[in-house]
Chain A
């Protein structure tokens, strides 16, 4: 009986995970997270990743070009783990369902869910040297690298916890 209950609990926790699946790809960590926070693939739908990866020579103003093979491996990883294929994770599900079907945002920060969740921020919270940019997740979300973006884990430099 114990085993059945435990099994049921495990199944539930696998089926409906909170947060977003953590990054589990060494090439992604090396190639993408050397310049910026390693955004989890589950933060954008597949079509967004494909669009973004097709313009790495002009990646939000910088050259992030890769050789063909590395690019292919990374596109595969991003698509397989994209938000619309990780709907069992709460954040992935919410991001995916917030985006209109005819739009393909390439900035996580421009998805309706992201905007809604950050609309109470004051400018000074982001435009300070400890944060710098709204895309610097880990500056405030202390567990962002584990894919956990819960309010409890927020600590905004010079402002404190989000309560």
Chain B
């Protein structure tokens, strides 16, 4: 029995789980998403990928996507295109600090949706993109 638990535990860690506070935040987003669309079931990695990679005319009036700074390879370093500052990888599999603190996660979602989409993200969009990042 112990062996089974020992094998399940590491698997669950790798299979895109969130820590307890982050899971609570995800659950809050789910309630919000369900409230605005009754057919909503769960967030989607695939939709999140589109949110992350699609190009928009951003806050500066120029074409930009999340990947412009974070790179299409989330396991690699990114680079802020305006300041040249190196950004640590977004993928939790190589940067375990990512998506662990709700306050920081909310802050970056707020800022970066404004920069790329020139508006706040919806609950559904936020959940989708968090699923996508967490799958990396």
Instruction: Decide yes or no whether B110 CB sits under 8 A from chain A.
Output: yes
Binding site for B on A (CB under 8 A): 33-37, 57, 60-67, 129-133, 135-136, 139
Pick out which of these stretches binds chain A: B16-24, B79-87, B122-130. Answer: B79-87
Tell me which residues across on chain B come within 8 A of A33, comparing CB atoms: 85
Q: Which of A34, A60, A66, A129 is most buried by chain B, counting CB atoms within 10 A of its CB? A: A34
Tally of contacts, chain A with chain B, CB under 8 A: 49
Chain A at the B interface: mostly helix, strand, loop or mixed? loop
B contact residues, total (Cβ < 8 Å):
15
B75 interface contact, C-beta 8 A: no
A35-B80, A61-B59, A63-B111 given; 6 more Cβ-contact pairs under 8 Å: A34-B87, A62-B115, A63-B59, A63-B112, A67-B103, A133-B82
16 sample A-B contacts, Cβ–Cβ < 8 Å, listed by A number: A35-B83, A36-B83, A57-B114, A60-B82, A61-B60, A62-B59, A62-B60, A64-B111, A65-B107, A65-B111, A130-B84, A131-B84, A132-B83, A133-B82, A136-B84, A136-B85
Q: A62: which B residues are within 8 A, CB to CB?
A: 59-60, 82, 111, 115
B residues near A132, Cβ cutoff 8 Å: 83-84
Nearest neighbor of A36 in chain B, beta-carbon distance: B83
Nearest-neighbour CB distance to chain B for A155, whole angstroms, equals: 16
